[in-house]
């Protein structure tokens, strides 16, 4: 697992050079716009709701002694909850809506890495790619929230909350990497097959997602660059995985 996580991270090496060489930047215009708008909406919402959630959590403490301290802690936890849920919503929204624009990027990277300009793969339309992106990301959103909520509850436990933060970050990273890998898998696998493939390569997804999440911590610039670099890195590594397992289709077209 650790080895694959490192491979997922190492795939980011040389992504800017590859994007420039293949002239991929033009494909990222609409996804970057989607990213900025989504981040702005979620950011303003988080700013307005964090105090409200903090006060709501503070109502659990019915005693007068320690009320002020618990309220302060609750406000911090409220902010963490908003940020965590906001990041979850952000990444799934942009990944779902960007799917039709990321597919050509992934396809160009695959053609470059394999040297084969005529790969035979699933023939899907813009609408089918969009629906696939929405379907995958809604599925991942639900599963991620079901995992995240118990982890957030652990934050009320001293010491344990330190490890819960790390676990929360890794869960978010996994689903971010999942979405990035599916832009390539969409051409080769059906819905269920892609889920099984990523499940077998969790380390790669986590490694890709770790850098994705870290880029979101960079003010402004991170929002602009997170999709271009993470999708390029994920496409590189996913193509290598497919090639290694002899799963790249050359001779027959699979139609949904």
**pLDDT tens track for 14-51:** 999 999 999 999 899 999 999 999 888 887 877 777 66
Instruction: Compute the average pLDDT of residues 87-94.
Output: 90
What's the pLDDT tens digit per position in 176-202? Answer: 999 999 999 998 898 999 999 999 999
Lowest mean pLDDT among 13-22, 61-70, 94-103: 61-70
> Based on the structure, what is the number of domains in the chain?
1
Q: Given its phi and psi angles, is residue 174 left (phi above 0), alpha (psi -120 to 50 degrees) or beta?
A: alpha
Per-residue pLDDT at 256: 35
What's residue 195's pLDDT? 95
Higher pLDDT, 50 or 3: 3
d(CA 107, CA 248): 12
Label residue 190 left, alpha or beta by phi (over 0 means left) and psi (-120 to 50 means alpha): beta
In a domain, 78, yes or no: yes
256, part of any domain: no
Q: Which domain holds residue 140?
A: 2-244
Q: Is the pLDDT of residue 251 over 70?
A: no
Tallying the residues shown for the chain, one arrives at 256
What is the rounded CA–CA span in Å between residue 114 and residue 129? 23
End-to-end Cα, the chain, rounded Å: 33
Mean pLDDT score across all residues of the chain: 85
> Do the beta carbons of residue 114 and residue 120 sit within 8 Å?
no
Query: What is the pTM assigned to this prediction?
Result: 0.82
For residue 179, is it within any domain? yes
- When pLDDT is averaged across residues 127-140 and rounded to a whole number, the result is 91
Structural domain includes residue 251: no
Give the integer Cα–Cα distance in Å for 256 and 174: 27
């Amino acid at each position: 697992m650790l080895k694959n996580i490192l491979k997922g991270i190492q795939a980011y090496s040389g992504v800017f050079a590859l994007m420039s060489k293949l002239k991929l930047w033009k494909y990222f215009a609409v996804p970057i716009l989607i990213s900025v708008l989504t981040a702005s909406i979620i950011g303003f919402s988080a700013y307005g709701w964090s105090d409200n959630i903090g006060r709501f959590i503070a109502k659990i403490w019915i005693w007068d002694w320690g009320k002020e301290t618990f309220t302060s802690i609750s406000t911090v936890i409220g902010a963490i909850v908003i940020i965590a849920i906001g990041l979850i919503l952000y990444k799934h929204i942009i990944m779902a809506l960007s799917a039709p624009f990321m597919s050509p990027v992934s396809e160009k990277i695959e053609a470059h890495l394999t040297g084969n300009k005529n790969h035979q793969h699933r023939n899907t339309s813009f609408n089918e790619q969009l629906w696939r992106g929405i379907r995958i990301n809604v599925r991942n959103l639900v599963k991620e929230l079901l995992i995240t909520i118990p982890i957030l509850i652990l934050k009320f436990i001293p010491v344990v909350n330190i490890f819960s933060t790390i676990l929360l970050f890794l869960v978010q990273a996994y689903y971010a990497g999942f979405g990035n890998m599916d832009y390539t898998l969409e051409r080769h696998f059906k819905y269920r097959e892609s889920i099984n493939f990523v499940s077998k390569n969790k380390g790669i997804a986590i490694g890709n997602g770790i850098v994705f999440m870290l880029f979101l911590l960079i003010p402004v610039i991170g929002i602009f660059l997170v999709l271009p670099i993470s999708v390029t890195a994920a496409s590189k590594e996913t193509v290598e995985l497919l090639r290694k397992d002899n799963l790249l289709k050359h001779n027959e077209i699979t139609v949904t």
